[in-house]
């Protein structure tokens, strides 16, 4: 599975793989990954705004 495909699944842009393992711990891991990706995107937006505003 490619990295971009996994990120798309985390952000609900792509349908989840039905063959993926399902357990409580995997759900927790995916939740934490979603939060970290969203925070990273927010940080990139903030940095871009600061650079544009000068």
Domain ranges of the chain: 3-53
Query: pLDDT grade, residue 47 (50/70/90)?
Result: very high
* Contact assessment for residue 13 and residue 38, using Cβ atoms and an 8 Å cutoff: no
- pTM for the full model? 0.63
Give Cα separations from 39 to 23, 35, 42, 43, 44 (angstroms). 25, 6, 5, 6, 9
Nearest of 4, 29, 28 to residue 14 by alpha carbon: 4
4 pLDDT above the threshold of 70? yes
Give the N- to C-terminal CA distance of the chain in Å, as an integer: 40
């Amino acid at each position: 599975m490619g990295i971009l495909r996994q990120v798309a699944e985390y952000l609900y842009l792509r349908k989840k793989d039905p063959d993926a393992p399902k357990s409580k711990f995997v759900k927790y891991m995916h939740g934490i990954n979603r939060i970290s990706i969203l925070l990273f995107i927010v940080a990139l937006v903030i940095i871009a705004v600061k650079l544009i505003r000068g």
